[in-house]
Amino acid sequence: MDGREVVLAGFVHETRDLGGIAFLVLRDRKGLAQITLVKKMVGKEMFKSVRTISRESVVQVRGQVKAEPKAPRGFEILPTDVRVLSAAQVPLPLDPTEKVECELDTRLDARFMDIRRPCVLAAFEIESAVLRSLRDYFYGQKITEVFTPKIVAAATEGGTDLFPISYFEKEAFLNQSPQLYKQMLMGAGMDRVFEIGPIFRAEEHDTRRHLNEAISIDVEISFADDKEVMSILEGAVVEAYRYVAENCSYQLEVMGLDLQVPKAPFRRITYTEALEMASERAGVKMQWGDDLDTETERFLGETIGEHYFLTDWPSSIKPYYTLPYEDKPEICRGFDLMHPRMELASGAQRVHDYSLLVERIVEKGLDPDGFEFYLKAFRYGMPPHAGWGLGLSRLVMTMLKLENIRDAVIFPRDRRRLVP
């Protein structure tokens, strides 16, 4: 485009005054453009006005493209007109040029400006690419996209980790998971469904990997067992990495990442094998039936060093809808997908027999009457089925090597943060 007239608009990243020449660096979500003002060419008035524009103001520039190898992206703009569309106040709440670091809370308080930082914006553009790749992958697998209620009358797994809301004259809750509804859709004959949507958990965590509102990627498949849906899950993760590696080179460069696509199939390790591995650590004494703690997960991740599945969990640990083995009912067909840093997904082959499902609900200390709307679907023919739920933010966090899950959410909701 050398020699052509163009109109550009964006944020003022920085200005530099060298006397008879000045540079205005314009930034949008695709990068930087250098506007070069030579005082003799643009006149005193424009030269003076540009020098006084505050950083992060929104401006529109009309001018001629000139090839310049030393300029960002190999070109500069010689302006004929510079207009301020919206002036930024001074001082700024943080430095979008990333020259001055600031605390996470400061960044989240001014999230609108924090996202102007190229490395932050790049993470959310990659997240968008991940979602696109997953939807394309699911459509290719002939899986139907659905949407289930987020205002519900009962908890997915019982318990108290719920956000109650006032729903006219009734009590209701924000949904913890689409689990019950996607199982009901198996009874509706939809066979293969996925949903990408918010979930809410009123857990009082305050860690780098927990949030109270998250985006869950859920899949449920009829006439499938745990091994079949594990294959679909690892395929989805590999496809997400592959798509980002092939289509987000600019964003990965901004973040300084060399993304390696994981290889499938992922390693499978049973719960019992995981305990045996953990017992090799000095001072670790875990009993069969204990849930794996964070330290054990970290040890396993460091030992294995790649994505892996934890399978064949104790039935006592997993939810009531997880199918036990017929010959060993103390073990169930549940699994977790693990990244070396943390759990990414959880799934299982489900109980599809009505009587066994009621029995499992009672074993967990829950009242079957509270699940009548769900149980009804199992009385009239329910196919065997299996599925899983994958955390979008955890997938992005581990993919991009982010230190805090809040860096993978545009406006995070945690124990203390309700705004912005």
pLDDT on residue 148: 97
- In the chain (420 residues long), the average pLDDT of successive 10-residue segments reads 95 91 92 91 89 95 94 91 96 90 94 95 98 98 97 75 91 94 98 98 90 97 98 98 97 96 97 88 73 88 96 96 97 98 97 98 92 95 98 98 97 95
- Phi/psi at 178 (nearest 5 deg)? -85, 10
* Of 227, 183, 222, the residue nearest 383 (C-alpha): 222
Type of residue found at 352? H
Domain positions in the chain: 5-86, 113-408
pLDDT on residue 282: 54
User: Considering the entire predicted model, what is its pTM?
Assistant: 0.93
203 assigned to active site: yes
359 assigned to active site: no
Q: Which of 55, 132, 135, 210 is an active site residue?
A: 210
- Phi/psi at 232 (nearest 5 deg)? -65, -40
Q: Which of 177, 216, 315, 346 is an active site residue?
A: 346
Q: Which of 157, 203, 273, 359 is an active site residue?
A: 203
Q: Which of 209, 242, 268, 417 is an active site residue?
A: 209
Asked: is 5-86 a CATH 2.40.50.140 domain? The reply is yes
The β-bridge partners of 152 are 173
Q: Which of 117, 201, 360, 385 is an active site residue?
A: 201
343 assigned to active site: yes
Angstrom distance (rounded) from CA 64 to CA 181: 58
67: exposed, middle or buried (C-beta count within 10 Å: 0-12, 13-18, 19+)? exposed
Angstrom distance (rounded) from CA 248 to CA 257: 11
pLDDT on residue 235: 98
Q: What is the CATH number of domain 113-408?
A: 3.30.930.10
